[in-house]
Amino acid sequence: MSEINDKVTNEKKQIVLSGIQPTGTITLGNFLGAVSNWGKMQEEFDSIFFVADLHALTVKREPAEFRQACMSFFAQLLACGIDPAKSVLYFQSHVHEHTELQWILNCNTYVGEASRMTQFKDKSAKHADNINMGLMDYPVLMAADILLFRTSLVPVGIDQKQHLELTRDIAVRFNNRYGDTFVVPEPYIPATGAKICSLQDPTAKMSKSDPDANAWVSVIEDESSVMKKFKRAVTDSGNDIVARDDKPGITNLLTIYAAIEGKSVEQAEKEFAGVGYGTFKTAVGEAVAEKFRPIRENYHRYLDDKAYLAEVAREGARKASAMGSRTLAKVKRKVGLVSFDR
């Protein structure tokens, strides 16, 4: 493995930050909708990416399995193209500044704001036996994640938009009370980022939590499994391979193929004009399997090299802590906490 070089911060570059919960595997939907764009962002921005293991604790987990899932996810991010020489990559729990800042932000956040979050209501309904404070406080930790690094841009999906608005409200409130402290972040919408739907229910978002394993594909899944899932993918009535509202199955497969191949949906439609559904689904499966082949290979190589993963994680945490400690020290001074540091 190559050495991890120190990341040289270019002050002219904006800071972009994104975290992802270690759900086990990165799906095709995660990859095309978010992670593939991270590799592009690290060329343009000062990029900070982390495994959001603290956020994941709001759900009951078996410790050994959770620890393994976190390591696997870290290796998957590296395999998907996150370069530790270009980006800061680490585990959220390894940087204590996240939770220190969270407490101070808690004291500047109103209970009504947190309880109104749609995601809190949804998760409370789904996990009625485990409505813990972490569920309510989740968006404040997210605000700390973002504000800690003076982040300018945050890639967000629809489900996180409300949380980013709360982050902005907290930042503005703090700045108004204590003086200019935080950068008020803006949402970042990548130039590309396809919305990928379930292979079995093309009206629903692809999700690993789907009880039907044929509904989603993982970036580290073996080729034969990928092909089986695409051959079983739900299509629509008729024979035309076109993207239309009344053909959600075919539209989803065209969207996947176009995103994987770097083409427009219109180009994909022309390519498969007059082709049968079976041939089309096979072609999409082959394109996905080939795209994921180097990711699978790199993933297993990284996962087998625990020393390298530890080195990357430690160095990423060191850089993140060095960046975040400056903001945290400023915040502590602003709120009146005693410090003997010069």
pLDDT for res 158: 59
Asked whether residue 246 falls in the same domain as residue 271, the answer is: yes
Determine phi and psi for 302, rounding to 5 degrees.
Answer: -65, -45
pLDDT for res 298: 97
Asked whether residue 126 falls in the same domain as residue 243, the answer is: no
pLDDT for res 123: 65
Asked whether residue 148 falls in the same domain as residue 231, the answer is: no
Query: Do residues 84 and 316 make contact, with C-beta atoms less than 8 angstroms apart?
Result: yes
Alpha-helical (H) ranges within 80-157 are 97-106, 111-115, 118-126, 133-147
Amino acid at 16: V
Asked whether residue 220 falls in the same domain as residue 153, the answer is: no
pLDDT for res 2: 43
pLDDT for res 160: 67
Cα three-residue angle 146-148-153, rounded to 5 degrees: 35
Q: How many CB atoms lie within 10 A of CB 171?
A: 20
pLDDT for res 120: 61
Determine phi and psi for 190, rounding to 5 degrees.
Answer: -60, 155
Catalytic positions, written as ranges: 123, 205, 208
For every one of its 342 residues, what pLDDT tens digit does the chain have, with 9 covering 90 and above?
444 444 444 456 899 999 999 988 899 998 998 888 888 899 999 999 999 999 999 888 899 999 999 999 999 999 999 999 999 999 999 999 999 999 999 999 988 887 776 666 666 666 667 677 888 888 999 999 999 999 999 987 656 678 789 999 999 999 999 999 999 999 887 665 568 999 999 999 998 888 999 999 999 999 999 999 999 999 999 889 999 999 999 999 999 999 999 999 999 999 999 999 999 999 999 999 999 999 999 999 999 999 999 999 999 999 999 999 999 999 999 999 998 876
DSSP lists the bridge partners of residue 138 as none
Asked whether residue 148 falls in the same domain as residue 232, the answer is: no
pLDDT for res 175: 97
d(CA 156, CA 168): 13
By CB atoms closer than 10 A (0-12, 13-18, 19+), residue 12 is: exposed
Domain with 270, as residue range(s), is 213-299
Q: Which residues of 132-146 are buried (b: 16+ CB within 10 A; e: fewer)?
A: eebbbbbbbbbbbbb
Give the CATH number for residue 60.
Answer: 3.40.50.620
Q: Which residues of 60-81 are buried (b: 16+ CB within 10 A; e: fewer)?
A: eeeeeebeebbbbbbbbbbbbb
Asked whether residue 330 falls in the same domain as residue 182, the answer is: yes
pLDDT for res 33: 84
Counting the structural domains of the chain, the total is: 2
Domain assignment present for residue 204? The answer is no
Domain assignment present for residue 126? The answer is yes
Give the CATH number for residue 277.
Answer: 1.10.240.10
pLDDT for res 90: 98
- Any residues with CB less than 8 A from the CB of 45 and at least 6 apart, and which? 13, 14, 15, 16, 153
d(CA 261, CA 287): 7
Query: Do residues 4 and 315 make contact, with C-beta atoms less than 8 angstroms apart?
Result: yes
pLDDT for res 188: 86
d(CA 132, CA 264): 44
- Where do we find the tokens 């967000």? 156
Asked whether residue 268 falls in the same domain as residue 289, the answer is: yes
